[in-house]
Chains A and B, each alone.
Chain A
Amino acid sequence: MFMHIFFYRFKCLIRDKQLVFWTLLFPILLGTFFYMAFSNLNDEASFHPIHAAVVPSGNSHYDAPFVDVLRSVSKGKNRLFMMKTAASQAEADRWLKAGKIDGYFSSGETIQLTVNESGLNQSIMKSFVDQYRTSSAAAAQIAKDNPNALQNGLLQDLSDHRSYVKEVSGGGAEPNNVLNYFYTLIAMACLYGSFWGAKEVMDIQADQTERAARVNTAPIHKLKMFIAGSLAALIILFAEILILLAYLRFGLKIDFGPRTGLVVLTALLGSILGISFGAFISAVVKAGEGLKIACLIFVTMAGSFLSGMMYQNMKYIVSQYVPLLSWLNPVNLLTDAFYALYYYDNLYRFALNAGMMCLFIIVFCAGTYLIIRRRRYARL
């Protein structure tokens, strides 16, 4: 009998095109849009040699050393500038106005910088000139304090510019913050699965749908019916989430870190969380279907917003200022679990998230059971 109910319930659910759209197609399409919109973001924030120009003063005493230094940092793979020499200030101004350069240096006794905005590239240009100036000032000071220094190779030491920093990796993975958008998307898809859970509860409460009224007349234990139906819903949702994961991983090449097994486990936990959450809300909210769906959408969308789906720093802000909220937000728990699996070497944070999700699942299931058990209808 269990298999019979399960099978028919499965057929009944999978034919609901609207639900299949919102829980499968919509996340896939949204993921595609994210991919199209965000794929260039990290590249835009990365360093490209700065387009700059120099306007010589005509006095080679000032021009020659400065232009030399500029040339030395404008060649090679790690060059700082793409340098052009302007014939006159008017030409450099034209380049600046046309957006061909970020700014230009005017050589002379005091080197000047002309820009048209206060950006990072312009700040690098300024730091560069500051350095040139301070190095000369330091050399003059040393030569004054210790006149022998000039014979002892002061100028050579001055041009021997060493790097004093080395990069150490913070963890196994790159801090690619665009990934968070995709993690919240999967979390949202799992929580959209709550529609399936809500449908399950509505379809066994005889005062809510006609199908439930019919099913209630059958001589079968309600719990058995509910479990069979929920299992069918869970299998559908989990399959949808796996399709979404596969699309993101293989279609859009989204990185989930090396622990595939745990990623799939998180997807399963998320699916169970989604179904049980929907069932619980549907059991608690007694009013019509519209209000139940509105509640589910509201919680899912608010949760997604707080996990950084629309503004990614939101997740960080919440965890900094209202840490409790980030532990009570089911969307954030899922997002954070994917994030922890990708970004951290140890599994402590993942385990915390997974544990919290299990706790939520237990509370939702127990709550649903206590509300809908032993419901009898005198009249329908």
Chain B
Amino acid sequence: MPVFNVCLKIFRKNWLSVSIYVVIFLAIAILISATSVSDQPTTFAQKKARIAFIAEEQTPLVKGFRKELSRSTMIVALPDQSEKLQDALYFRQVTYILRIPKGFTENVLSGGNMRLEKTVVPNSIENTYVDLNVDQYWNLARLYATHEPGISQDGLVSRLKANLSGTTPVFMKTENAAKTSDSFSMFYFNFLAYTLSAVLIMGISTAMMVFRRRDLRMRHYCSPLKPTNITMQLLAANLLFAGASWAVLVGFCFLLDPKSIATINMLYFLINSLLFTGCIASLSYLISTVLKSLNAVSAVCNLITLGTCFISGVFVPQEFLNSTVLKIASFTPTYWYVQANTKIAKLTHFSWDHLAPSLYSMLIMLAFTGAFIAVALVIGRRQQATN
């Protein structure tokens, strides 16, 4: 199997440019797995908005307010310097900066119109959420001050504390969620699209372009091997490379998230990613027939992988992308791969009805594979004819 062996040799020579993508991918995957929350909560936990709390006065009521507010917010300690505060707001370390001006408590208790100052990320959800809680406290304080004029600040704080304690019963319907929904495995398999595309295009296109060199092809023609035999050997080498890349990258998922292995969803994740591997391998072959120079491979590889991954929801989830972008993306196999993945992740029942949408996406990916191979064969034939 001389052709097969040479092809493997080229893969080995190229390992550096390919392994860069794998290393970066793994570094990011490990980072995500270290920070991701593995267990899904089964009871409701109130979200806490991150805020900065700057008080220019320290009255008992302000202290009580801060304590109550910390039930619905996480107060981030920041120095009262405008640059530090602005930075924190820009990078969303806080989404709400609340400043209590001097004399505010007295003013509210005597029925005045003074207000707290907030600097916020405009229109954010947290903005509405924190406003709701801030207003509630001071409206109640005003109510007490108006109707119980003699009440001391400490008395007021304890009254408010008693009123605001206790909580509304919340029921969470968790049975709707699948184990793999929004899990690490889903992110991993989505992100896999980027690495797998980069590795396969870099590896396969580079190797195939070497074999398309004119003198090498002529050498092949005068050898006693049949053309079909040569093609089969090349195909076998490429499939081996694609399969090995898939196995290695998927293997790491098992190491990083062993809990998902036992789910049926994982089986479909694997099938989906395998189909995607086949699709990108055929795309890589097509690229090698179109390109003329080896130098262009890394440019085209970067463009295709980054481009499709950005618009198909690999880096930014599809629900955050605008509909025109998604329409464009639906002309790429990556979009359908991510679609299938996201649907598989949410599956709790595996009957035909539930599986059909994911299978439909996979089918479209298969159609892409067929189309890539067909176009590559047509171009190959033409090139052969002109040579």
Residues of B within 8 A of A315 (CB): 91
CB-based contact B173/A21 at 8 Å? no
A-B contacts, 16 of them at CB < 8 A, read A36-B322, A40-B322, A46-B122, A80-B132, A113-B171, A114-B171, A115-B170, A120-B125, A126-B44, A131-B132, A149-B148, A163-B131, A165-B98, A165-B115, A170-B119, A313-B93
Bound CA–CA A121/B303 (angstroms): 38
CB-based contact B135/A161 at 8 Å? yes
Bound CA–CA A306/B285 (angstroms): 35
Contact with A along B112-147 (1 / 0, CB 8 A): 000111111111111111011111101110111011
Q: Nearest B residue to A121 by beta-carbon distance?
A: B125
Q: Does B174 contact A (CB under 8 A)?
A: yes
Q: Does A261 contact B (CB under 8 A)?
A: no
CB-based contact A138/B163 at 8 Å? yes
Interface centre among B91, B124, B138 (most CB of A within 10 A): B91
Which residues of A come within 8 Å of B, CB atoms?
A: 18, 21-22, 26, 29-30, 33-34, 36-41, 44-47, 80, 93, 96-97, 110-124, 126-131, 133-135, 137-139, 141-142, 145-146, 149, 152, 154, 157-158, 161-171, 174-175, 177, 180, 310, 312-313, 315-316, 319, 339, 343-344, 349
Interchain CB contact (< 8 A) of B132 among A45, A127, A180: A127
CB-based contact A168/B118 at 8 Å? yes
Bound CA–CA A135/B138 (angstroms): 12
Q: Nearest A residue to B144 by beta-carbon distance?
A: A142
Bound CA–CA A26/B170 (angstroms): 51
On chain B, the number of residues with a Cβ less than 8 Å from chain A's Cβ atoms is 85
- In the complex, what's the smallest C-beta–C-beta distance from B43 to chain A, in angstroms? 8
Q: Nearest A residue to B88 by beta-carbon distance?
A: A316
Which one, B211-219, B229-237, B263-271, B307-315, is touching chain A?
B307-315
Bound CA–CA A177/B92 (angstroms): 8
CB-based contact B303/A29 at 8 Å? yes
Residues of B within 8 A of A319 (CB): 87
Residues of B within 8 A of A161 (CB): 135, 139
CB-based contact B147/A112 at 8 Å? no
- In the complex, what's the smallest C-beta–C-beta distance from A222 to chain B, in angstroms? 30
Which one, B78-86, B198-206, B355-363, B371-379, is touching chain A?
B78-86
Residues of B within 8 A of A116 (CB): 172-174, 176-177
Q: Does B41 contact A (CB under 8 A)?
A: yes
Bound CA–CA A142/B319 (angstroms): 48
Residues of A within 8 A of B93 (CB): 313, 316
| Additional 8 contacts, C-beta under 8 A, given A116-B177, A127-B132, A141-B163 | A93-B173, A114-B173, A118-B45, A157-B143, A168-B118, A170-B86, A177-B92, A343-B86
Interface centre among B90, B123, B142, B144 (most CB of A within 10 A): B90
CB-based contact B134/A165 at 8 Å? yes
Contact with A along B38-53 (1 / 0, CB 8 A): 0001001111010000
- In the complex, what's the smallest C-beta–C-beta distance from B335 to chain A, in angstroms? 13
Residues of B within 8 A of A141 (CB): 159, 162-163
Interface centre among A39, A134, A315 (most CB of B within 10 A): A134
CB-based contact B131/A165 at 8 Å? yes
The 9 A-B residue pairs whose C-beta atoms are closest, nearest first, are A316-B91, A33-B310, A46-B123, A149-B147, A123-B47, A170-B119, A164-B138, A175-B90, A129-B168
Q: Nearest B residue to A301 by beta-carbon distance?
A: B24
CB-based contact A118/B310 at 8 Å? no
Q: Does B89 contact A (CB under 8 A)?
A: yes
